[in-house]
Structure 1
Amino acid sequence: MSGHGSGPPSWAQLGKLGLLSALPCFVFGFLDNSIMLVAGDAIESSLGAKLGLSGLACAALGNVVADTTGSSAPPPAARLPACLPPTCLPAQQQMRAARLTTASAGAVGIIIGCLVGCFPLLFIEGDGAEGKPEAA
């Protein structure tokens, strides 16, 4: 089947649909995690000790900054699917395979984006030895 009719979407169509679904989620996860880490570290080093905030409280406040930033300025990748031609016909997009592809690709995109968004940890100074036993 060619995949261009009203039959089930082809593997190529599902692959493109998955990519279009994963990309904005990846960008969101990346930006959300990286901004949260940088903002949380800045809050911890500037206000954390003065106000007696725990590291987790500073991270939570950093998440407020990240979520506010993300909601007020959506990344260009969030608009990408609207700019590209659809990979499937509307009837195909309602089919189970397309819905599963969209949902699973979005989840994978956000997971990978969040993991890659941890890169600020490479640059945030800390003793890194809290709660770790010393090597013998």
Structure 2
Amino acid sequence: MNLQTMKVSMPSYMAEEFEQMEKITGPKTKKMRRYSLLSLFMLPMAVFNIVSLVFFSETMPVVPVLLFSAAGAVALALQKEVKVLLKEVQELMVTYMKERMDKAAEMNPIRLNRFKTELEENPNQSVKVFAEFLEAERKWGEE
């Protein structure tokens, strides 16, 4: 589920926070998508062509096999870079969330520390934890 579909079902105060986060992570996410799409097309093409040249060709065409092998290696390198970028995006998101939580000075410090601890222990659930924090902050402000 992407952010656009999530925005439809979330309150406006949450949508604003996630938009701010998207502005910070946007460039890396865009780069990650490009690399992912490029490797998605390059790797199967390279594998298919190498297999067809090696097994279904009467002579061994060395140059095309080397070129397709290089394309496959580049595709694998791009996939590795996508994983690195994904980790960086997650770190940026967690950093933004922690900074945002630090700005919530009026909230109960014990509860605030619980949210921060959850973010550190389970970064894969960071969006859910942040949404819970925003909801708790809103309720705390109403009381």
TM-score for the superposition, normalised by structure 2? 0.32
Larger fraction in helix: 2
Q: Which has the higher contact order (CA 8 A, sep 6+)?
A: 1
Give the TM-score taking structure 1 as reference length.
0.33
